Amino acid sequence: MTQPVKREKTTQHAVVPSLHASGIGTKWTTGAVNFDGKFAEIVGFEMEEEYTVGTIWFGEALGGMPAVPVRKFGVEDVLRRVD
Protein backbone atom coordinates (compact mmCIF):
# COMPACT_ATOMS: atom_id res chain seq x y z
CA MET A 1 0.00 0.00 0.00
CA THR A 2 1.39 3.40 -0.89
CA GLN A 3 1.06 6.07 1.77
CA PRO A 4 -1.55 8.74 0.94
CA VAL A 5 -0.51 12.36 0.89
CA LYS A 6 -0.81 14.16 4.20
CA ARG A 7 -3.92 16.06 3.07
CA GLU A 8 -5.81 12.79 2.66
CA LYS A 9 -4.82 11.72 6.17
CA THR A 10 -6.03 14.90 7.87
CA THR A 11 -9.14 16.11 6.03
CA GLN A 12 -11.39 13.65 7.85
CA HIS A 13 -10.94 15.74 11.00
CA ALA A 14 -13.14 18.43 9.42
CA VAL A 15 -16.12 16.07 9.82
CA VAL A 16 -16.27 16.43 13.63
CA PRO A 17 -16.57 20.26 13.81
CA SER A 18 -18.93 20.24 10.84
CA LEU A 19 -21.30 17.80 12.55
CA HIS A 20 -21.03 19.74 15.81
CA ALA A 21 -21.97 22.97 14.00
CA SER A 22 -25.09 21.15 12.80
CA GLY A 23 -26.03 20.17 16.37
CA ILE A 24 -24.86 16.57 16.07
CA GLY A 25 -22.65 15.13 18.80
CA THR A 26 -19.51 13.16 17.93
CA LYS A 27 -16.92 10.92 19.52
CA TRP A 28 -13.63 10.01 17.82
CA THR A 29 -12.11 6.68 18.83
CA THR A 30 -8.95 4.89 17.79
CA GLY A 31 -8.03 1.46 19.01
CA ALA A 32 -7.17 -2.11 18.14
CA VAL A 33 -10.55 -2.67 16.50
CA ASN A 34 -9.64 -0.19 13.74
CA PHE A 35 -6.66 -2.31 12.73
CA ASP A 36 -8.36 -5.70 12.89
CA GLY A 37 -9.03 -7.62 9.67
CA LYS A 38 -12.59 -8.42 10.78
CA PHE A 39 -13.33 -4.67 11.05
CA ALA A 40 -12.06 -4.14 7.50
CA GLU A 41 -14.24 -7.01 6.29
CA ILE A 42 -17.38 -5.66 7.99
CA VAL A 43 -16.78 -2.09 6.79
CA GLY A 44 -15.87 -3.32 3.32
CA PHE A 45 -12.28 -2.42 2.49
CA GLU A 46 -9.07 -4.31 1.76
CA MET A 47 -6.40 -3.80 4.41
CA GLU A 48 -3.69 -4.17 1.77
CA GLU A 49 -5.04 -1.07 -0.03
CA GLU A 50 -6.56 1.12 2.70
CA TYR A 51 -6.46 1.61 6.45
CA THR A 52 -8.51 3.17 9.22
CA VAL A 53 -7.14 5.89 11.49
CA GLY A 54 -10.22 6.06 13.70
CA THR A 55 -13.96 5.69 13.99
CA ILE A 56 -16.35 8.61 14.39
CA TRP A 57 -19.48 7.88 16.40
CA PHE A 58 -22.20 10.45 15.86
CA GLY A 59 -25.77 11.15 16.86
CA GLU A 60 -28.00 13.21 19.08
CA ALA A 61 -27.58 13.06 22.85
CA LEU A 62 -30.61 12.32 24.99
CA GLY A 63 -31.63 15.67 26.42
CA GLY A 64 -29.90 17.61 23.65
CA MET A 65 -26.51 19.23 23.37
CA PRO A 66 -25.06 20.91 26.46
CA ALA A 67 -24.93 24.68 26.43
CA VAL A 68 -21.69 26.19 25.19
CA PRO A 69 -19.89 27.72 28.19
CA VAL A 70 -19.41 31.46 28.20
CA ARG A 71 -15.86 32.30 27.21
CA LYS A 72 -13.98 33.69 30.22
CA PHE A 73 -11.20 35.32 28.26
CA GLY A 74 -10.80 36.72 24.78
CA VAL A 75 -7.69 36.34 22.65
CA GLU A 76 -6.51 39.79 23.75
CA ASP A 77 -6.60 38.59 27.39
CA VAL A 78 -4.33 35.59 26.88
CA LEU A 79 -2.09 36.50 23.95
CA ARG A 80 1.00 38.60 24.47
CA ARG A 81 3.13 39.83 21.60
CA VAL A 82 6.87 39.63 22.15
CA ASP A 83 9.03 41.75 19.88
pTM of the model: 0.56
Q: Which residues contact 59 (CB under 8 A, 6 or more apart)?
A: 24, 25
pLDDT: which is higher, 56 or 12: 56
pLDDT: which is higher, 61 or 10: 61
For position 41, what pLDDT does the model report? 94
Averaged pLDDT, 31-58: 90
For position 8, what pLDDT does the model report? 56
Residue 4 has pLDDT above 60, yes or no: no
pLDDT: which is higher, 7 or 12: 12
Domain boundaries, the chain: 6-63
- Name the pLDDT band for 66 (thresholds 50, 70, 90): confident
Quick one: how far is CA 68 from the chain centroid?
19
